[in-house]
Amino acid sequence: MQIISGILLIDKSPGPTSFDVVRRVKGLLKVRKVGHLGTLDPFATGLLVLCLGQATKLAPFLMGEPKTYEAIIRLGVATDTQDLTGEVIAHSDKLPEPEEVFAAAARFVGEIEQIPPMYSAVHHQGQRLYKLARRGQEVERRPRPATIHRLEVVKLALPEVAVTVTCSAGTYIRTLAADLGAALGCGGHLTALRRLAAGPFRVEDALTLEALGQMTLEERRKRLIPLPNCLPGLPAVVVGEGEARRLRQGQAILGLINGFQPGQRVRVLAGPELVAVAQVRHAAGQLALTPLRVFHGSEQ
């Protein structure tokens, strides 16, 4: 049976859930196994990175990559979900001056802590927080670290503030919106969100579901990023068929990796195929490649 593997970039429209998109892609490309590198709320748009087939094995190496968003924050109104889908819980007629907004935004750049919102998929004693929130329950949540690499105010038309954010994986942009509003003393919530990038992947290279649906099956599969190109941040090591066979069997190989450092991760290639993601380690007095994930067979 032909194995279809690779990464597909989708530009999600507002409305469908990320899981709706996954189901649609499974049908359009005739594949059973599709994962993602981070969901988007139904009202949000932009880049969804989908891993098909064996590309799902790459998720651990990509999930932690920074993400970039465009967001619009409405100051003066706070909601229980921290976004436009929730109920208004506070309102303020007093809005900050523009220079106060710029100064407050600048203070969020760097290492911060966020309290996960009640309307989130975080677990609490075996239950998702959003399920508790829908029952009217609120529980104590521990702050979680996040990194804001960039928070730029690109347009200010109070009460709306348009920002571009580059942040660590797992950052809640709606919590950032609510926290900015709280820091300004007027409250705030997220009214629009668009993901522009996730690690090395950009929304400019993505397809809408509508465009994907108008293609032939062959054209759709040609839009997949092949496995060898899915980890551009990792250096490549080329091996022969014998070394590839040993790696695929879970065995380390010695002596092919001069110039690398212990602990470094690499892509291992044999011809046009990705054989493994491996780590450089010391073994028997020399450097060795130890497979972390292995990939089998001809992909397309």
Q: Which of 11, 41, 83, 179 is catalytic?
A: 41
Residues recorded for the chain: 300
Q: Return the biggest CA–CA distance within the chain.
A: 71
Residue 84 identity (one-letter amino acid)? L
d(CA 300, CA 297): 9
Around Cβ 91, how many Cβ atoms within 10 Å? 10
Structure tokens at 140: 């104590």
Residue 81 identity (one-letter amino acid)? T
Q: 22 CB contacts (<8 Å, ≥6 apart)?
A: 34, 35, 36, 50
- Antiparallel, parallel or unpaired: β 77-79 and 67-75: unpaired
41 assigned to active site: yes
Around Cβ 261, how many Cβ atoms within 10 Å? 8
Closest CA to 166 of 298, 240, 65, 239: 65
- Taking CA 170 as the corner, what is the angle to CA 41 and CA 278, rounded to the nearest 5 degrees? 120
% helix, strand, coil for the chain, step of 5: 25, 35, 40
Structure tokens at 137: 């329950």
Residues with a catalytic annotation lie at 41
